[in-house]
Amino acid sequence: MSKTLVLGGAGYIGSVVTRFLIEAGHDVMVLDDLSTGHADALPAGVDFTHADISAAGELFAAQPYGAVVHLAAKSLVGESVVHPSKYWHTNVIGTRALLDAMTEHQVPRLVFSSTAAVYGEPEQIPISEDAPTKPTNTYGATKLAVDMMISGECAATDLSAVSLRYFNVAGAAKGAGERHGTETHLIPLALDAVAGKRDKLTVYGDDWPTPDGTPLRDYVHVADLARAHVLAIGAAHPGEHLICNLGNGNGFSVKEVVAAVEQVTGMKMPIAYGPRRVGDPARLVASAQRASERLGWHPELDLTTMVADAWAFAQSRPSATDSGDTSL
């Protein structure tokens, strides 16, 4: 029986995806270097190899694998601008080695964790997969480079591949949630602020061309995202690279997220408004029509549920905090 390899399965999204794959009947092996993941985030009893992506070929040589779910990457936008070489090396060179190993050992299917950052400043809202790709940071550029490599590999080797371009992921599921050492995501930062684990939430700009003056972003629950990975494994045909956006198709402003956090927690949040940051778009909202048509996927969980699940997870364990501010 072939196995499914989850690269980065000890991270936030990877640990939830791993649980959903096991629940769907997959025999899973997780490979993670634990540079940002956590061994105790893995579900009990799952096969685990502590190594970086270069060890995938050794696993393929040991037994047959039917699919790879690739979530291993460096993903901090700001760091990618300051230290681009780390991102090109890990995200691009690492994935090139993975694709070579998959070809050598005839692993037929790949699901790749891509990102909305490949689009940069959108020209139209909602953003479809046919929108121009103009990343504004190294992180987005490396993910786009990998998407391009995968397209070439599918054409040359009959690999079946799906790239899932995430928008903003939030929430928790099946006992797994966000535990980043350097937190840049709005909802966990807002929860820390309302709980007194940071002195305030900084919002960059309240004069954007949006209904309430704060940026709009598309949020998707991590459980919905994980379901999409399970569906994606069987979605592509040999020689096809299918690219799907994952979002709910509706934007929520920073103020709307703050209101949801205050509603769920019953506490008032300390907020400071700063100037707009260069490069931040006013609106980022996905069109997920292709995911609906090709994967049979629809987001099911709303913003309040995302916040409530994230809050319950945060309350269940002590969380590390730092001085990072919201990226929105």
Query: What's the pLDDT score for residue 181?
Result: 64
| Token pair listed for 28 | 């899973």
Q: Output phi, psi for 116, to 5 deg.
A: -65, -15
Looking at residues 183-191, what average pLDDT do you find? 87
Give the span between the Cα atoms of 21 and 28, in whole angstroms: 7
Beta bridge partners of 311: none
Looking at residues 20-49, what average pLDDT do you find? 96
Q: What is the pLDDT of residues 207-266, one digit of tens each?
A: 999 999 999 999 999 999 999 999 999 998 999 999 999 999 888 999 999 999 999 999
Q: What is the pLDDT of residues 64-88, one digit of tens each?
A: 999 999 999 998 888 888 999 999 9
CB atoms closer than 10 angstroms to residue 310: 24
| Token pair listed for 146 | 């990998």
Q: Name residue, tokens 């690269």.
A: 7
Q: What is the pLDDT of residues 284-319, one digit of tens each?
A: 899 999 999 999 999 999 999 999 999 999 998 754
Supply the residues annotated as catalytic.
Answer: 139
Query: What's the pLDDT score for residue 182?
Result: 67
Per CATH, the homologous superfamily of domain 3-170+220-246 is: NAD(P)-binding Rossmann-like Domain (3.40.50.720)
CB atoms closer than 10 angstroms to residue 85: 8
Class of the domain covering 172-217+250-284+301-316: alpha beta
Query: What's the pLDDT score for residue 184?
Result: 77
What does the domain layout of the chain look like in residue ranges? 3-170+220-246, 172-217+250-284+301-316
Q: Residue 58 pLDDT more than 70?
A: yes
Query: What's the pLDDT score for residue 22?
Result: 97
Query: What's the pLDDT score for residue 316?
Result: 87
